[in-house]
Structure 1
Amino acid sequence: MSFTYIRDLQPFQFNKKLKVRICRIWRPKLIGSTDQFGGLQCILVDQKTDAIQASVKEIDYDFVAPKIKPGSIYEITHFYTGRNKPSHKIVPHVAQLFFNERTTFKELPTIQPHIPRHRFYLVDYTQLSTRIDKIDILTYVFGHITAIQPLEQKMVGNERLEDKCEVCIENIRKEDVRITLWGNTAKTFDAQALQQSTSPIFAAFTSLKVKQFQGKIVLNSSVSTLIFINPDIPELAAYKTIFNDSTHAVKMLPSSTTQLMTPQYLEAAKKLSVQELNVLDPETHKDTPILCRAAITRFDIRNGWWYKACPSCFKQL
Structure 2
Amino acid sequence: MKTYAGEEYLSGNTACRWYFNPAIPEAEDFYNALHNQRLSIRRVTVPAEQTAPLQTALSLEDKCLSDLEKMDPYDFPDGGCRCTVTITRVLLTTPWWFPSCNRCSRSCTPDGDGYKCNTCSCTGYRFK
Query: What TM-score, normalized to structure 2?
Result: 0.30
Identify the structure with the greater strand proportion: 1
| Relative contact order higher in (CA < 8 Å, ≥ 6 apart) | 2
Q: Normalising by the residue count of structure 1, what TM-score does the alignment of the two structures yield?
A: 0.14
Greater CA radius of gyration, 1 or 2? 1
